[in-house]
Amino acid sequence: MKKLILFIAFLFITNFTFSQTYLLGPQEFNTDILVHGASAPVTSWFAPNSNPQIDFIATGGCTNSWVGYSGSWNSYWGNFLRMPQVNCTGNDTILMTFDVSHSYFATQPNDWCRFYMWADAGYKNNVISVKIDGVDVTYDSGVNGKGFKLDQLRTCAQVQILFNISAIADKSNILFYIEPSCGYNNSNVFSFKFDNVSIIGGTSIPLPAPTVQASVVTFSNVGLNQLEANWTRGNGSNCAVFIKQTNSGNASPVDNTTYIPNTAFGSGTQIASTGWYCIYSGTGTTATITNLLQATNYRVMVCEFNGNPLGEKYNVLVSTQNPNDTITGNNVGINEFNEENLAISTFENGILFSSSKIIKSMKLYSITGNLVFSNENINVNSFTFSTNSMTSGIYLANIEVNGKFIFKKIHILK
């Protein structure tokens, strides 16, 4: 009966709305901010010097620098990193997130990391669940609380720990702890490093899933390696924005999964292995996306959602101009893209594309990167495009011929 009650409570908690309020971080540890010693002010990132301490390392992290520990003959090493005091007032659930890289030895099943907090003048083991890259890996040690086992080698994996703080009387000064430990004393090099640490707050207000999807995704300031995406909000409490290197398909985020955003393409949480990466999550209507390739198709989709961390309910339906795609610039000039299998000729109020191969699709973009025409099912050797509805200007045509994408600059004068 006890297990059943806990399970029902978890379902209840994860179906509330979540404001995506960052209460702490993301902390990237770009500089050494750790305080060592026997004690430290509650406003600091504290790594005690009892046992070898968790330390700052300037290189090799998920974003350059990181904090952690590495060593052998560890004599059953364990130590913690305590975060600065966090005011969690008004929240009933808390999501801790960070990126982790750690060692793995099949002969060391006792290596693990646990999470807990100090609140109401005592230590609290009130973790609900632990997910890594969207997979539940919660390990319950009993009296020592919950965490996860170092049961495989991980590199820059994204960890999400959900806490239930609904029973905490004073939520204004909570201290959160990350405590890795090595259960052995041998020559194996145990390591545990982490960065990009965040504390995110969640409230307890039941809401239905969003019924109105975000729409009208547009692009501006499209450059060689970055672009700005804009959209119109639906009726969710938040929205998650995903991008993929493609010009077709849709993003389908999974319910009860928190996608951690990063505006550098490829660095946010990916939807499974689909190539769709989260670049924004919140209440806004714009994001600048970096780390893009030149002259490359990218597709952006915005999904409205309600719900707590690990309890999100996503609207995955397509809507007007959502998803939408664009193409980044190229510093060699678009006229230098040539293809012997494609011929282009013009006539009054039209353009003829012809090839000895099958022309599968064509998309036309404005000079600012917005899609103005799309036909993904041409599938003939010649294709006529009418310019009657076009305005004067320079456009970029992306034509797929025989499995290859060909780019042509088109100048329309009227």
Under a CB-based contact definition with an 8 Å cutoff, are residues 1 and 13 in contact?
Answer: no
The pLDDT tens digits of the residues spanning 87-99 come to: 999 898 899 999 9
Provide the mean pLDDT of the chain.
87
Structure confidence at residue 36 (pLDDT): 97
Q: What is the mean pLDDT of residues 201-212?
A: 70
The answer to whether position 3 is within a domain reads no
End-of-domain residue from the set 289, 308, 327: 327
Q: What is the DSSP letter of 216?
A: E
Structure confidence at residue 19 (pLDDT): 47
The pLDDT tens digits of the residues spanning 74-133 come to: 999 999 999 999 999 989 889 999 999 999 999 999 999 999 999 999 999 999 889 999
Number of structural domains in the chain = 3
Q: What is the mean pLDDT of residues 229-245?
A: 95
**pTM score of the predicted model:** 0.54
- Per-residue pLDDT band at 208 (split at 50, 70, 90): low
- Per-residue pLDDT band at 45 (split at 50, 70, 90): very high
- Tell whether 144 and 268 lie within a shared domain: no
> How does strand 350-366 pair with strand 343-347?
antiparallel
Structure confidence at residue 123 (pLDDT): 97
The answer to whether position 13 is within a domain reads no
Q: Is the peptide bond before 26 cis (omega within 30 degrees of 0)?
A: yes
User: What's 343's domain CATH number?
Assistant: 2.60.40.10
Smallest CA-to-CA distance from 298 within 326, 261, 262 is with: 326
Q: What percent of the chain has pLDDT over 90?
A: 61
Domain membership of residue 366 as a residue range: 334-412
**Among 1-5, 99-103, 134-138, 142-146, the least confident range:** 1-5
pLDDT higher than 50, residue 163: yes
Structure confidence at residue 99 (pLDDT): 95
The answer to whether position 8 is within a domain reads no
End-of-domain residue from the set 259, 294, 327: 327
The pLDDT tens digits of the residues spanning 278-331 come to: 999 999 999 999 999 988 899 999 999 988 777 789 999 999 999 999 988 754
pLDDT higher than 80, residue 15: no
- Tell whether 28 and 66 lie within a shared domain: yes
**Residue 302: CB partners within 8 Å, gap ≥ 6?**
213, 214, 217, 231, 239, 240, 241, 242, 322, 323
Task: Give the SS3 label for residue 406.
Answer: strand
Under a CB-based contact definition with an 8 Å cutoff, are residues 80 and 179 in contact?
Answer: yes
The answer to whether position 10 is within a domain reads no
